[in-house]
Amino acid sequence: MACVAVMGLRAQILPVSVWQAVAIQAGLAALFSRGFRQPVWWLPIHLLFLPTVLMGLSWQVPAWLYLLTLLLLTLLFWGTVKGDVPLFLSSSAVSEALIEIVSREQAQAFIDIGAGLATVVVPLAKARPDMVVVALERAPLPWLLARWRCRNLANVQVGRYSFWEQDLRGFDVVFAFLSPLVMAKIGEKVRREMRAGCLFISSSFPIPDSHPESVLELNDSRKTKLYCYRIGGSLKS
Ligand SMILES: C[S@@+](CC[C@H](N)C(=O)[O-])C[C@H]1O[C@@H](n2cnc3c(N)ncnc32)[C@H](O)[C@@H]1O
């Protein structure tokens, strides 16, 4: 919308340079974005998109670099275009809290159902070498990095398939850091498959219409909340 407005103005009335037109477009796009109440993280995208394109054109970046960037982003974010959860990582405070929880629970088997770069799995597996740790990651690049990071950890298995295909029956503690969009469906899966007495922990996003047994608020930069659900207790089937 902002692009069309500026192109029209430039053709008709505005005696501005291309860079000035791009700056006006970026400002208008940002304003429209606020007007349409888009989330605030859209702002830098609107402000930087066209200036970056113009800079790329004026620097005469070789075409293969665009292709390589697209390829890397696709391998990193994989199913995000289809609605899968993107990659963002837990803090070390989350891993520390999980280490305490699995010890208290005397867990023998733990799974991270969207493991990213194994940020949570690696410290957990090191702290509890006696516990089986499974990391599922569907995006190829994070999966490869997770595999590499876990290469010397005998108690870790890294799988490259969707958590929807994984039966959760064998795990004492299941960890997820996903998105609010999938939490209702995850709640159904957890209720259906996990054994009574086991623990489901969701970082940042609660299961709708369910009461967690406890909520841990961590002292990291995001003030992460860990929602802990006891199967058969706070989470009834
Ligand atoms: C928000 S990141 C969390 C990464 C890691 N668990 C952490 O806490 O640092 C979510 C990850 O889940 C992965 N993911 C999304 N949908 C998935 C699916 N259906 N099966 C397996 N992994 C999935 C994404 O590729 C992404 O790496």
Tell me which residue has tokens 């609107």: 46
Q: 102 and 169 in one domain?
A: yes
Distance from the alpha carbon of residue 17 to the mean position of ligand 1, in angstroms: 44
Residues 53 and 129 in one domain: no
> Where would I find the H helices in 128-182?
140-149
Number of domains, the chain = 2
Cβ of 162 below 6 Å from ligand 1: yes
Q: Measuring from atom 19 of ligand 1, which residue has the nearest CA?
A: 162
Q: Do 17 and 115 share a domain, yes or no?
A: no
Q: Whose CA is nearest to atom 23 of ligand 1?
A: 114
Domain closes at, from 45, 61, 77: 61
Q: How confident is the model at residue 194 (pLDDT cuts 50, 70, 90)?
A: very high
Higher per-residue confidence, 7 vs 16: 16
Share of residues in the chain with pLDDT > 70 (%): 92
Interval 8-17 mean pLDDT: 66
74: in domain:
no
| CB of 166 shorter than 6 A to ligand 1 | no
If asked whether residues 166 and 223 sit together in one domain, one would say: yes
Ligand 1 atom at minimal distance to the Cα of residue 142: 27
Asked whether residue 48 is assigned to any structural domain, the reply reads: yes
Per-residue pLDDT at 227 exceeds 80: yes
pLDDT of residue 75: 82
Answer yes or no: do 126 and 212 share one domain: yes
Residue 83 lies in a domain: no
Dump pLDDT digits (tens) for 29-87. 999 988 888 878 888 889 998 888 888 788 877 888 888 888 888 888 777 766 667 78
CA nearest ligand 1 atom 8, residue: 90
Together in a domain, 103 and 219:
yes
Ligand 1 atom 6: the closest Cα is on which residue? Answer: 115
Residues 98 and 36 in one domain: no
| 15 domain-assigned | yes
Within a domain: 34: yes
Mean pLDDT over all residues of the chain? Answer: 89
What CA–CA distance (Å, rounded) separates 87 from 177?
10
Residue 143 and residue 44 in one domain: no
Whether pLDDT at 119 is above 70: yes
88 CB within 6 A, ligand 1: yes
Taken in order 96, 100, 105, 109, is the CA torsion positive or negative? positive
Residue 139's identity, in one-letter code, is: A
Encoding tokens for residue 44?
Answer: 């830098």
Q: Which of the two residues, 88 and 112, has the higher pLDDT score?
A: 112
Instruction: Using the 3D structure, point to which of 44, 61, 78 is the last residue of a domain.
Output: 61
The CATH number of the domain holding residue 106 is: 3.40.50.150
With a 6 Å cutoff on the Cβ, whether 138 touches ligand 1 is yes
pLDDT score of 230: 96
Provide, rounded to the nearest whole percent, the portion of the chain with pLDDT above 90: 61
Q: Which residues pair with 156 in a beta bridge?
A: 133
27 lies in the same domain as 114:
no
Tell me, yes or no, whether 137 and 196 share the same domain: yes
Range of the domain at 24: 2-61
Q: Give the per-residue pLDDT at 96.
A: 97
Pair 179, 105 in one domain: yes
Q: Classify residue 178: in a domain, yes or no.
A: yes
Whether 150 and 215 share a structural domain: yes
Closest CA to 116 of 140, 93, 142, 95: 142
Q: Which of 61, 79, 110 is the last residue of a domain?
A: 61
Average pLDDT over residues 103-122: 97
Confidence band, pLDDT 50/70/90 cuts, at residue 4 = low
Tokens (6 digits) for 135: 């990391």
Supply the pLDDT for residue 115: 96
Residue 148 to residue 66: CA distance in whole angstroms: 27
Is 127 among the domain residues? Answer: yes
For residue 181, is it within any domain?
yes
